[in-house]
Amino acid sequence: MAKVVVSGYMVRYPLSGLLLAYFQYVLGFHRLGHDVIYIEESGWPDSCFNPETCRFGNDPAPGLKTLRALLAQFDASAVKVYYVERDTGAVHGGTSADVRRDLAEADLLLNLGGVCWLDEFMLCRHRVFVDMDPLFTQVGLFGAKLLGDYHVHLSYGVNIGKPQCTIPAAGYEWRGTVPPVIPEIWTPAPPAEAFTTVAHWSAYGAVEHDGKQFGQKDVEFLRLMNLPALTTQKLELALSGGEEIRQTFRDAGWSVFDSEHLNNNLEQYRQYICSSRGEFSAAKNAYVQTHSGWFSDRTVCYLAASRPVVIQDVGAGDWLPTGRGVLTFSTIEEAAAQLAEVNSDYPGHCAEAREVAAQFFDYRKVLPRILEMAPAGQLTPGAKP
């Protein structure tokens, strides 16, 4: 059994989709029999979002309550949780000495997304960085200044370093990885009529690199606005942000609603995905432009729930079989054609979606590969080096 420290962004921003992006790592390592510790730090003033008041502040209590309840729900209360207040040094869940001891004793530190920057991380002798937002990380966001502190650099941008991908390596060797999914969380339900997605309209905005603008999902969804005129398939967007554009999409034939109730209720979020007919989604403009090979931590949940996905082509087809269960498009006409293809053999595509999830994204395959890539001794799942 390895001692694995996971660092992420669950306490400060305890909304459903974000929680699950990190939680499936924590729960996955726990279910594989490892000793898992979760560490998060405040990072900046007023970094903690309270879902009940919809306001930011410095109190981590709402997020800690949500995370601990989630761990208990999935029989993972043995996972130790620390939250460190950067300015005061106060530690929730233990003491500073506890944090330092656990980091020094850990076999591996896995920093997910680069949103925590504790100096004490250097106590851990094997440190792995996981880039969850390719291009944005490499051009200077999300812990980019601390990349030199890590021995191994993984990225959801699986194509980084390959001729077809234009994401700069920023001086590091990036090894491809994918979001893990725990199939037991995603029990299929009778499907509704709509293909859906849960998305943030413009997130943290565009960045400029080498004279080019690299944007968010809003850029790509706008190109798909008139898709309902080309298909009989119902399409639904659960959006954060984009209030100014929602009615325009409704007028074009989309169903659009605010995703707040899904973001604040994990069970409703899970049921929404499990009862959708499938997922239809654009990708961030940056992922499309760069042919990144990225794959969504939300899309893997649809697949695990046996829901086919029709997603924008960002180069994932370079490493993932597409055409059954996972279908990609580049143009609005291709999007309509792929929706029709799914509906021509819906049961078959559902079965294939589940198979793709099992073959490529199941935590029992993804997480052991991360341990195998750990530096200096290559941890073997289930045993200390």
For residue 289, the one-letter residue type is Q
Is pLDDT above 90 for 66? Answer: yes
**What's the pLDDT score for residue 309?**
98
Is pLDDT above 50 for 376? Answer: no
Is pLDDT above 60 for 385? Answer: no
Check: CB of residue 91 under 8 Å from CB of residue 84.
yes
Instruction: Give the Cα separation of 82 and 325 in Å (integer).
Output: 39
With CA atoms as reference, report the closest residue to 69 among 138, 23, 2. 23
DSSP readout, 334-384? HHHHHHHHHHHTHHHHHHHHHHHIIIIIBHHHHHHHHHHH-TTT-PBTTB-
At 180-230, the pLDDT tens digits run: 999 999 999 999 999 999 999 998 889 999 899 999 999 999 999 999 999
Q: 266: part of which helix (H) or strand (E)?
A: helix 266-274
Per-domain residue ranges of the chain? 3-180+363-373, 183-361
Percentage, residues of the chain above pLDDT 90: 91
At 28-47, the pLDDT tens digits run: 999 999 999 999 999 999 99
DSSP readout, 321-336? --SSSEEEESSHHHHH
At 304-319, the pLDDT tens digits run: 999 999 999 999 999 9
**What's the pLDDT score for residue 88?**
92
At 116-162, the pLDDT tens digits run: 999 999 999 999 999 999 999 999 876 667 899 999 999 999 999 99
For residue 297, the one-letter residue type is D
Token pair of 179 as six digits: 């979001």
Per this entry, what is the length of the chain? 385
Instruction: Examine domains 3-180+363-373 and 183-361 and report if their fold is the same.
Output: yes
Token pair of 361 as six digits: 């994204």
At 160-178, the pLDDT tens digits run: 999 999 999 999 999 999 9
CATH of 183-361, one of 3.40.190.10, 3.40.50.2000, 2.30.30.100, 3.10.129.10: 3.40.50.2000
With CA atoms as reference, report the closest residue to 64 among 35, 86, 84. 84
CATH of 3-180+363-373, one of 1.10.760, 3.40.50, 3.30.450, 2.130.10: 3.40.50
**What's the pLDDT score for residue 381?**
36
**What's the pLDDT score for residue 380?**
35
DSSP letter at 244 equals T
Mean pLDDT for 250-261 is 97
Instruction: Give the Cα separation of 156 and 146 in Å (integer).
Output: 18
- Mean pLDDT, the chain, rounded, equals 94
